[in-house]
Chain A
Amino acid sequence: MTTYVGEAVDRVDGTAKTTGGARFSAEYPYPDLAHAALVHATVARGRITRLDTTAAEAVPGVIAVLTHRNAPPLKPAPRVTPLNLATLASGTSVNYLNTDEVHWNGQPVAVVVAESPEAAQEAAHLVEVAYAHLPATVDFAAAEPDAKPQKSNLIMSGGAVKGDPEAALAAAPVALDLRYTTPPHHHNAIEPHATTAHWADGRLTLHDGAQNIYWTRDHLAMRFGIPKDDIRVLSPFVGGAFGGKTMVWPGTILAAMAAKATGRPVRLMLTREGVYRTVGGRTPSTQRVAVGADESGRMTALIHTSVTLTGRVGGGPEQVTSQTRHLYDAAAIRVQQNLVELDVLSNTVMRAPGESIGTFALEATVDELAYRLGVDPIELRARNEPARNPMDGKAFAHRKLRECFEQGAKEFGWAGRNPEPRSTRDGRWLVGTGVAAAYHPSWQFPANVTVRLSADGTALVRCGFHEMGMGGATAQAQIAADALGLPVEAVTVEYGDTRLPTGPGAGGSAQTASVAAALVAACEKLTRLARALARRTPGAAGASYPEILRLAGRDSIEARVGSDTRLGTAVGQLRFAGKLMSDRRRWVKAACGAQFCEVRVDADTGEVRVTRWLGVFDVGRVINAKTAASQLRGGIVMGIGMALAEETLVDPRTGRIMNASLSEYHVPVHADVPAIEIRYLDDPDPTMPLGLIGVGEVSITGVAGAIANAVFHATGRRIRDLPITLDKLL
């Protein structure tokens, strides 16, 4: 029975968020709270040669200035092992304040703790540090030619080949071989990273905006050498994250360290600049996309290679070429990802890492091929739509990309389009339209859940998942309400606390599906229990579940899925790994979609405005029509920023970010964003829990491609370097 699933239910935390009642991690009061501020290195690599904290210590209200000279010891960052996924959580490998070495421009070299945030900030300014420079490589563009092929591992494959694509390309009657670049990006969640840390009796309580509270807990346990059960991480509200709060970055660790060293509860709210200096962002990339086709538009060769960076102290590869393995039925395909290591802060995951920039290059190339062939770009995609995964012939679990394009074309009015570039003008505006495919693989992680049903007709769902705006609690309440036959208001969902049954991290667009799988199972258990009870209880036949409890004289019954014991966790991870492997052997799973847009380009000045948007997505079943549409819109908005304005400026001389502020890093504002129409096919994926595929990331993919294609249609200019700023169009 589905009363709520699929409906546009209001968010359960809507009132809290519109009245100022929702508390974020810098907003927990503690008596005796002290405030911390960071001092950041100003060189790319070097050693601290002089450090003078006298002036800082003299600032009234300063409690302590922690530096590598006096900071408590910290265990080094753990080595990554697949046996403990929390080892993946190290933001960097640097042992903060336990070394005089500087590894990136911005690394924290001191922490000031004071009675007020003002005193801490002022004292941080007065800490004097001098450095001996060490040679550093920080210029991506200069280092990029020396990139090395990425090695494949369990999680990500670095490259693959089918056939002889270079030969096929050379032989193709129509061929393109293009180069693209994308700059570094930053998440810029409006809530800066903040931690409130409190130690009592050797146990740590941490309020920390996090996308994976269990990783944070386990990582801190390793660094401070204490059992993980002695740490509690709370994160009920996270003010946006987009990947930037997945890893454990220095601020979290240093807040805990400062609290430990001073014996006071400590709050560290990073400055906006501090976020740029200590939290990684999206890697820049250079990409080559080459495509060969016969006259009918059938692709004979498809090559996509990329170079991205990692920090020498951390970060990882990005699956920039991932979608190219799945989107087009080319006879010969090669994908290869390459890496350079630089002396900069680790790169990290940011909304659809890889595919967001990879689809830009691929989809712009496909559009260019369509023009070269004189074929409509949607028609060209249809001619190359594969029946099975092009790389290896695996089955698609779900693939409705064609339907997305067909529905989109109809609603957007694509049929009447004059393909001629620069053919439409409206006053000072050159008008163009563009399309691109969206693609993002779907994932599922293990989750433990308990559900308790009470005789008073309420239910309590408990699972340590995360709420950063996706509306997870609302979606899970809808699922539980349907399963238990309750009104949605009767269901309470607890999340964001490591004391709860272990939830999945918020990443890979997998959280809702992962929790839903466990929740559905738990509810099934619970209803079986209730029915068994009904059979033993006179008069309970046909009664509602709460009535059964009342008749049976029971206050509540509870069901649990998964176990949080050490053994239970290990079994859970093994089972998960096993299912993942068998799933992967059988199927290619993904969300996909078709992005349609209209842009206007000022004929004199090259200013670009996005004026229409339609995204049609295949994301399986949608749990909440309202929040899912919002998330899909949010990805498109971020994609608009990526296409037109966003760029982190790293000075190639110093490795220093020069626009570490929201006034100089341009995220889209209200005026940049048109009405965005969202459609989804609402066709359940039979291989996913409740048939749902995650919606968090797919919608940023294809956005920059669609915009670049529309800009070409408007102006006749192909811009292959993001962002498409007006200077490139003059």
Chain B
Amino acid sequence: MADVHLRINGVDRRLEVEPRVSLLDALRERLGLTGTKKGCDQGACGACTVLADGERVLSCLALAVQYEGREITTIEGVADPIQRAFVRHDGFQCGYCTSGQICSALGMLAEHAAGAPSAVTEGLAAAEIELTEAEIRERMSGNLCRCGAYNGIVAAIQETQETRVAERDVPTLVEGRR
């Protein structure tokens, strides 16, 4: 047994777990945080996506012990306009992939804001990358939705991004820097 200390959704949690326990099962089975979903337990669906220190990761392939001392955000700890946007744009049907989609989208928007490129980014050297539909789709491809709510998810993310940009009053493309 290992003594693990995690900060989950802003609350310090201690737990005694075997090293083989995944972060996902620690959340779902030990801490009762069942909002994070298990779709494959092998890194192939994205349903288990959580944020570790703000970065999106797959909790099914993460051993809980390895995340000692880290700040974990699960869907239960998310309070962001993107959730309403998912409802408005019907970015889900059964809802099983949704926690993962939302956490992944938040991580993805942060990655984009930090300037990270994607596989469809042309001109890797550019300072700013416009978050087009194609960019969103590529960056979100690690989150499967078998109900096929992809259009609604992309729309919800676009709306969230547009609001964020408008609120910060930061143009997506800074002229002259392209």
Residues of A near any B CB (own CB < 8 A): 10-11, 13-24, 26-27, 29, 116-118, 187-192, 237-242, 269, 271-272, 467-471, 626-627, 629-631, 633-638, 661-663, 667-671, 673, 675-676
Contact = CB atoms under 8 A, between A and B. Distances in A.
A637 B154 CA distance: 14
A676 B147 CA distance: 14
Contacts of A22: 95
B133 to A, nearest CB: 7
Nearest to B96: A239
Nearest to A15: B87
Contacts of A634: 93, 147-149
B151 A29 contact: no
Interface string B75-99: 1101000011011101011111111
Contacts of B54: none
Contacts of B110: none
Contacts of A661: 40, 42, 44
B45 A673 contact: no
Contacts of B96: 24, 189-191, 239-240
B98 A17 contact: yes
A468 B18 CA distance: 35
B7 interface: no
A421 to B, nearest CB: 27
Given A21-B35, A637-B148, A669-B141, A469 B40 contact: no
B44 A27 contact: no
A238 B94 contact: yes
B87 A11 contact: yes
A-B pairs with the 7 shortest C-beta distances?
A20-B35, A469-B93, A637-B148, A239-B96, A17-B95, A469-B94, A634-B148
B14 to A, nearest CB: 18
A15, A187, A190, A661: which has the most chain B beta carbons within 10 Å? A190
A191 B37 contact: yes
Contacts of B42: 272, 661-663
Contact of B38 (A192, A627, A636, A668): A192
Given A18-B102, A117-B25, A238-B94, A673 B41 contact: no
A673 B137 contact: yes
Contact of A670 (B88, B138, B146): B138
Contacts of A242: 146
Interface stretch (B26-34, B123-131, B161-169, B170-178): B26-34
A269 B38 CA distance: 10
Given A192-B40, A272-B40, 18 more contacts: A13-B95, A18-B98, A24-B34, A26-B34, A118-B25, A190-B96, A191-B37, A239-B37, A469-B92, A626-B90, A630-B93, A634-B149, A661-B40, A661-B42, A669-B142, A669-B144, A670-B154, A673-B150
Interface residues of B, number: 61
A190 B146 contact: yes
A23 B34 contact: yes
B88 A667 contact: no
Contact of B87 (A18, A636, A667): A18
A18 B76 contact: no
A231 to B, nearest CB: 24
B139 to A, nearest CB: 8
Nearest to B100: A190
Q: Is chain B's interface secondary structure helix, strand, loop, or mixed overall?
A: loop
B147 A240 contact: yes
Contacts of B94: 189-191, 237-241, 467-469
A580 B143 CA distance: 42
Contacts of A238: 94
Contacts of B33: 20
Interface of B: 18, 20-21, 25, 28-29, 32-45, 47, 74-76, 78, 83-84, 86-88, 90, 92-99, 102, 120, 133-134, 136-138, 140-154
A371 B35 CA distance: 53
B148 A638 contact: yes
A18 B92 contact: yes
Candidate in B34, B42, B93 with the most chain A CB atoms within 10 angstroms: B93
A173 B128 CA distance: 62
Contacts of A19: 35, 75-76, 78, 83
Contacts of B140: 670
Chain A interface, >50% SS class: loop
A239 B93 CA distance: 9
A138 B143 CA distance: 34
Contacts of B88: 10
A16 B92 CA distance: 12
A24 B76 CA distance: 15
Nearest to A639: B148
Given A272-B41, A631-B93, A667 B34 contact: no
A662 B90 contact: no
Contacts of A629: 90
Given A14-B87, A636-B148, A191 B39 contact: yes
Contacts of A271: 41
Q: Most B CB atoms within 10 A — which of A191, A242, A269, A471?
A: A191
Contact of A662 (B45, B74, B150): B45
Contacts of A269: 38
Given A10-B88, A14-B87, A117-B25, A673 B151 contact: yes
24 contacts: A10-B90, A16-B95, A18-B83, A19-B76, A20-B99, A27-B28, A190-B45, A190-B147, A191-B96, A238-B94, A239-B94, A240-B93, A242-B146, A629-B90, A630-B152, A637-B148, A663-B40, A667-B144, A668-B148, A670-B136, A670-B140, A670-B153, A671-B141, A673-B137
Contact of A673 (B18, B99, B148): B148
Contacts of A10: 87-88, 90
Listed residue (A20, A116, A469, A627) with the most chain B CB atoms within 10 angstroms of its CB: A20
Nearest to B152: A630
A597 to B, nearest CB: 15
A117 to B, nearest CB: 6
B48 to A, nearest CB: 11
A539 B81 CA distance: 47
Contact of B143 (A23, A29, A630, A670): A670
Contacts of B45: 190, 662
Nearest to B89: A626
Contacts of A17: 92, 95, 98
A190 B149 contact: no
A548 B36 CA distance: 46
Nearest to A676: B151
Contact of B148 (A16, A635, A663): A635
Contacts of B142: 669
B3 to A, nearest CB: 17
Contacts of A191: 37, 39, 94, 96
Contacts of A27: 28, 34
Contacts of B93: 240, 468-471, 627, 630-631, 634
B59 to A, nearest CB: 13
B143 to A, nearest CB: 7
Contacts of A237: 94-95
Contact of B44 (A26, A118, A626, A663): A663
B141 A670 contact: yes
A242 B145 CA distance: 13
A675 B32 contact: no
B20 A630 contact: no
Nearest to B99: A20
A470 B94 CA distance: 7
Given A240-B94, A468-B94, A662 B40 contact: yes
B38 A670 contact: no
A18 B86 contact: yes
A192 B5 CA distance: 30
A17 B25 CA distance: 20
Contact of A116 (B29, B83, B98): B29
A607 to B, nearest CB: 14
B4 to A, nearest CB: 15
A20 B36 contact: yes
